[in-house]
A and B are shown apart, each in its own frame.
Chain A
Amino acid sequence: MNRFAELLDRLAYEPGRNNKLRLMTAYFRETPDPDRGYALAALTGALSFKHAKSGLVRDLIATRADPVLFALSYDYVGDLSETVALMWPQQHPTDASSVLPAVRGSGTEKAKETGHVRHWPSPTLTDVVTTLRTLGKAELPAQLARWLDQLDETGRWALLKLVTGAMRIGVSARLAKTAVAALGSRDAHDVELIWPGLAPPYPDLFAWLEGRGDRPVNRAPAPFRPVMLAHAIEDADFARLDAADFTAEWKWDGIRVQAVSGRDAHGNVETRLYSRTGEDITRSFPDLLPSLRREGSVEGRLNDSRESVGAFRQQAFAIDGELLVVRDGRVQSFNVLQQRLNRKAVTPRLMKEFPVHLRAYDLLADGDNDLRELPFEDRRRRLVDFIAALDDPRIDLSPQVSFATWSDLAAIRADPAEAGADADAVEGVMLKRRDAPYMPGRPKGLWWKWKRDPHVIDAVLMYAQRGHGRRSSYYSDYTFGVWTAGEEGERLVPVGKAYFGFTDEELLRIDRFVRRNTTESFGPVRHVLHEPDQGLVLEIAFEGLQRSARHKSGVAMRFPRINRLRWDKPPREADRLETLERMLASEATRSNGR
C-alpha cells in the first residue's frame, strides 16, 4: 500500500502528462503482481467495492481525536480524508528521530532500544482491495481503523481516498493504460482492444506486455468492445477538413448500444446487448433478442470454410448501433424511448406499446474476424451485406446522406424532413472519415458530431437543494457543471442551476438518486457524487450565453432547463467548459454580424 500511496501522492502534484506517464510506468515496472494490477484497476476506475461514506470517516476520527483539535485541524486543512490521515494518532514509531528521551508507552522507547523503525506490518494494496470486496458493511469501520493504525500519513491518505472513491489525482483511465502499455512499448490502443476481456489484477496483460506470455484473448463468447466516440465539430474545423474524405449519416436520438453474439465452448449461442459503457442491458430488451439470434441454423461443424456459411456469420458478430422505438415505420422521439429505459419489469404491454429497434452504424466483428482495424468504408460494405442477409424488420441500416460540399450538408442538416428522415428523431449529422479504423475512445479527427441545436449541452449534477412549496420535500433545485482542466487534472466547474424541465416521475428518480449519492451535506445543500464514472448526466437546454464575472466558470446561461436525463451516459463524457466558451464566441460573432 505504501508504494501505491507514494505513487498517488506524486501523481497528485505532477502537472505534466509525460511525467505522470513516467511515474506510472516506473511503478508498474518495479511493483510485483498482483499489487500493480490492483493499482492499474484503481487508476482506471475498474475496482468494484462499495465506497465508504464521509460520515463513516468522521465517526472514526471521533473515536481517536479530541473534537476541538479535529475541528481546528479540519478548518486548516480543508479536506476531510486528508485531515483524518494526518491527525490519526500514530501507532508505530516514526518519532525515533527525536532527541528527547522516549515517553513511556509511546512505542518510541522500544524502537530506540532495538533500532527498529517501520517494521510494523502494513497492508498491501492487494490486502486492501480483496478485503474490501468481501467485507460486510458492519465490519468496515473496525477494519479501516486497523489499517489506519498500520499505515503512515501518505498511506492513510491514499487508503481514505481509495475507500471513499475520491481519488482525483488527474489521471484518466486512458493515461493509465498508456503507461502500462509502455511496459511493452505498445500504445493505449493495443490495451483498449483487449481491455474488456481482462479483469483485475491483470496477470495475463502484464505477462504479454513483458514478453512472458501471449496476447490475452477474450474468451467471453459475446464480449463488449469499447466504443468509438465523436468530437463536436466547430465552425473553424470545416476549413481544415475535406468533404471528400468523409461520409455522413443522421445522428439518431436514441441510445447507443452494441449487439454482440457468439458461441461458447459448448457451441451454445450467447447474445448480449451492451450500453455504450459496457453495461449489460440484454434483459431490458427481450423483444430484440429473437432478431439477433437464429437458433439451430447451423450445427457444430464450423471448421469448413466458415466465411461461406452465411448462417454462422449471423451467430458471431458485433454491431454498433442506436436503439430506437419505431412505431408505424417512424422513429419516435427520445422521450418516447425513455418509457422503455430503467424499467424493473418489462411487461408484454410495454414491449407492444414501445417496440424497440436497432439501427446499425457499424460492424466490429463478423464471424471470427475482428474488423476494427479496417477502414470505415470496408466495414460499412460488410455491414450493408450483413444487414441484408439478416433480413429482419427490427434491424436496419443507418442510411448515409450524400453530399458534395459542406454547404450541401449544412442545408440537409437544417432540414432533415426534406431529406426524407424522421425529423423528430434526428439530432444532427455524424461525419465519419472514410479511412478511419474503429478506435476505442474519442480519437481526434476521425468522427465528428454536428448537432442541430447548438444550445444543448451535457452537464453533470453536482449539488442539489430542496425546492419550495409543493416540492419542499424533494431535492428539485440542481446545480450542474462541465469539465475543465484544473490543477489536479480534470474537474467539474458549476455553470448553472436548473429547477424545471422534468416530469414528476423523473423528479422522484432524481430525488432518490440525490439521497443515495450524497457525499456531504452543508445545510440545505447536498453534494452529489460527481466522479468521471459515477454520477448523473443532465442534458441542459438553454436560450443563450453571456459572460459573467459572478460565476466561477465565467459564463452564465439564460433559462437553463433539464432537457432530458442521461442515465445512460457516464459523467466523463459530459461537455467541457471550452465548448461553452466556443458557443459564447460564435454567438458574439453572430450577433455582431447582424
Chain B
Amino acid sequence: MRPQDILMPDAAGLYCKPGGFHIDPVRPVDRAIVTHGHSDHARPGHGAVLATPETLDIMRLRYGDDFAGSAQAISYGQEIRLGDVAIMFHPAGHVLGSAQIAVTHGGVRIVVSGDYKDAGDPTCTPFEIVPCDVFITEATFGLPVFSHGDAALETAKLLASVVLFPERAHLVGAYSLGKAQRVIALAREAGYDAPIYLHGAMEKVTQYYQSRGIALGDLRPARGMKKADLAGTITLAPPSATADVWTRRFPDPVRAFASGWMRVRARARQRGVELPLVISDHADWNGLTRTIAATGAGEIWVTHGQEDALVHWCRAQGLAARPLALVGYGDEDGEQDAVPFSGGEDGS
C-alpha cells in the first residue's frame, strides 16, 4: 500500500479514501477528524466529527451545540476502526485536547501531527512520539532562526517589567485558546499571585480550562475596572485587541505579545510590540527536527509553514521528504480569533 493511497489532499483538506474521512477539513464534509480546537483546524458544519472530548467541548463553546450533525469523543490511546483503517489519537502538547492522529492501513502507519510542541506546558497533556512510516509534520516555525528557548525566562521578563513600571498596565497579546491560559499558568509557576485580568473574549474558554482542573489562580474581567486600578497589573487580550481603541482604558500600557514570531525583531516591531515574549505553542526548529528523527519515519510530508527549509533538512538527513500543499491554515498569529468565543465581549 502506497501512503498516498491512504491520505491525499483534496479541495477540503487531507482526505483518507479507504476510511472515508477528512482530517481538519477547511470546508464542510461528511466525516471529519479534528486534531484540536483552533478555528482554522476545527470548523463548523460537518456531518460527523470525531475528536477528543476537550476539542468537542471547545467547538461547542465556539460554535454552539449544533456545530456538527453528530459528534463522537475519543480519548488518547483509544483505537477506532473506520472501514479497514485504524485510527488512534495521541497527545500533541499544543493546547488542551490537541491530538496527533495515527492512521494505519495495510501495514502502513501515517501520523498526522496537527499542530504540536515538544516543550512542556502545564495546561495540556505532554506531546508523545508515535513511531510511524510517514510523518506529516507542521512547519510553522520551520527555519533554524526559530528557537523558542525557555518560556519561564520569558515569563520572568514580563514580571520584571511589571516591577520596573508599576504605574503602567501590562497588556499581553495572546491567542485566546491555549496561549492565554499557558501564560497565566507560567506566571503562577513563577510565583505571581496577584489577580490577572482578562479581555471579554477570553473569559469563557479560560473558565473552561479551570473547569477541567487547571489551576489558574485569581482571574478577573478587565471590563468595568477603573483606569487607575489597572496600574501595575497584567491583562491578557487577543492579539487584535492590543492595538485597538480598547487599550485606551489602560494607563500607559506596555504592549507585550506572546508568540514564537517574537523571536524576529522586524516581526515584533511591525506589530508595535514593546515587550516581545517568545512563548509558542508550536515546536521550534530543534523541536521539529528532533521529533522527525524520533518518529523513525522514512518519509516526511511537510505542511503549513516554512516547508522549504524543513524539506531541505530532511533530504540532507537521507529522508524522503516533500511539501504537502494544504491551504487554509493560519500561522500562530494568523490563528487570530477569526471565530471568537462569543459572550463576555466587552465591545471595543
A residues in contact (CB < 8 Å) with B: 6, 10, 12-15, 19, 22-23, 26, 65-66, 68-69, 72-73, 76-79, 82-83, 86-87, 90, 94-101, 103, 117, 152-153, 487-488
What is the chain A residue whose CB lies nearest that of B263?
A86
A sample of 15 more A-B contacts (CB under 8 A), given A73-B143, A86-B146, A90-B286, is A15-B274, A19-B165, A22-B165, A66-B313, A68-B312, A69-B312, A69-B313, A79-B266, A87-B143, A87-B145, A95-B286, A97-B151, A98-B287, A103-B290, A153-B149
Docked complex Cα distance between A14 and B147 (Å) = 23
The stretch from B97-105, B118-126, B130-138, B192-200 touching chain A is: B118-126
- Are B294 and A117 in contact, CB atoms less than 8 angstroms apart? no
In the A-B complex, the 9 residue pairs with the smallest Cβ-Cβ separation, listed nearest first, are: A86-B145, A87-B144, A99-B126, A98-B118, A73-B145, A72-B309, A100-B118, A87-B145, A13-B274
Interface residues on B, range: 35 or more
**Set A15, A66, A103, A152: member contacting B293, Cβ < 8 A:** A103
B16 within 8 A of A: no
**Set A13, A86, A96, A100: member contacting B275, Cβ < 8 A:** A13
B140 within 8 A of A: no
CB-defined contacts of B312 to chain A, threshold 8 Å: 66, 68-69, 72
Give, as a whole number of angstroms, the nearest-CB distance from B218 to chain A: 26
Quick one: CB contact mask for B316-327 with A, threshold 8 Å, 1 for yes? 100000000000
CB-defined contacts of B146 to chain A, threshold 8 Å: 86
B residues in contact (CB < 8 Å) with A: 93, 118-120, 126-127, 129, 143-147, 149-152, 157, 164-165, 263-266, 268-269, 273-276, 286-287, 290-291, 293-294, 306, 308-309, 312-313, 316
- Are A152 and B294 in contact, CB atoms less than 8 angstroms apart? no
- Are B144 and A98 in contact, CB atoms less than 8 angstroms apart? no
- Are A100 and B165 in contact, CB atoms less than 8 angstroms apart? no
- Are A97 and B266 in contact, CB atoms less than 8 angstroms apart? no
- Are A69 and B275 in contact, CB atoms less than 8 angstroms apart? no
Q: Give the residue among B264, B266, B293 with the most A Cβ atoms within 10 A.
A: B264
User: Could you write out 26 A-B pairs with CB less than 8 Å apart?
Assistant: A13-B269, A13-B273, A13-B274, A19-B165, A22-B165, A26-B164, A68-B312, A72-B143, A72-B306, A73-B143, A76-B145, A77-B145, A78-B266, A86-B144, A87-B143, A87-B145, A90-B286, A97-B119, A98-B118, A98-B286, A99-B93, A99-B126, A100-B127, A100-B287, A100-B291, A153-B147
Docked complex Cα distance between A96 and B118 (Å) = 11
- Are B294 and A100 in contact, CB atoms less than 8 angstroms apart? yes
Give, as a whole number of angstroms, the nearest-CB distance from B284 to chain A: 9
What is the chain B residue whose CB lies nearest that of A86?
B145
Docked complex Cα distance between A76 and B139 (Å) = 14
**Set A22, A65, A487: member contacting B269, Cβ < 8 A:** A487
CB-defined contacts of B143 to chain A, threshold 8 Å: 69, 72-73, 76, 87
- Are B276 and A66 in contact, CB atoms less than 8 angstroms apart? no
Given the known inter-chain contacts A13-B269, A72-B309, A99-B126, please indicate yes or no for A153 contacting B164, CB distance below 8 A.
no
CB-defined contacts of A86 to chain B, threshold 8 Å: 144-147, 263-264
Q: Give the residue among A26, A68, A96, A98 with the most B Cβ atoms within 10 A.
A: A98
Give, as a whole number of angstroms, the nearest-CB distance from B91 to chain A: 10
**Set B119, B144, B165, B275: member contacting A99, Cβ < 8 A:** B119
CB-defined contacts of A488 to chain B, threshold 8 Å: 269
- Are A152 and B145 in contact, CB atoms less than 8 angstroms apart? no
What is the chain A residue whose CB lies nearest that of B270?
A487
What is the chain A residue whose CB lies nearest that of B275?
A13
Give, as a whole number of angstroms, the nearest-CB distance from A31 to chain B: 14
What is the chain B residue whose CB lies nearest that of A65?
B144
CB-defined contacts of B313 to chain A, threshold 8 Å: 66, 69
Docked complex Cα distance between A73 and B149 (Å) = 18
CB-defined contacts of A69 to chain B, threshold 8 Å: 143-144, 309, 312-313
Given the known inter-chain contacts A13-B275, A98-B119, A99-B126, please indicate yes or no for A22 contacting B266, CB distance below 8 A.
no
Give, as a whole number of angstroms, the nearest-CB distance from A8 to chain B: 11
- Are A99 and B118 in contact, CB atoms less than 8 angstroms apart? yes
- Are A82 and B265 in contact, CB atoms less than 8 angstroms apart? yes
Docked complex Cα distance between A97 and B155 (Å) = 14
Docked complex Cα distance between A78 and B266 (Å) = 8
CB-defined contacts of B275 to chain A, threshold 8 Å: 10, 13
CB-defined contacts of B165 to chain A, threshold 8 Å: 19, 22
CB-defined contacts of B164 to chain A, threshold 8 Å: 22-23, 26
CB-defined contacts of A76 to chain B, threshold 8 Å: 143, 145, 264, 306
- Are A153 and B287 in contact, CB atoms less than 8 angstroms apart? no
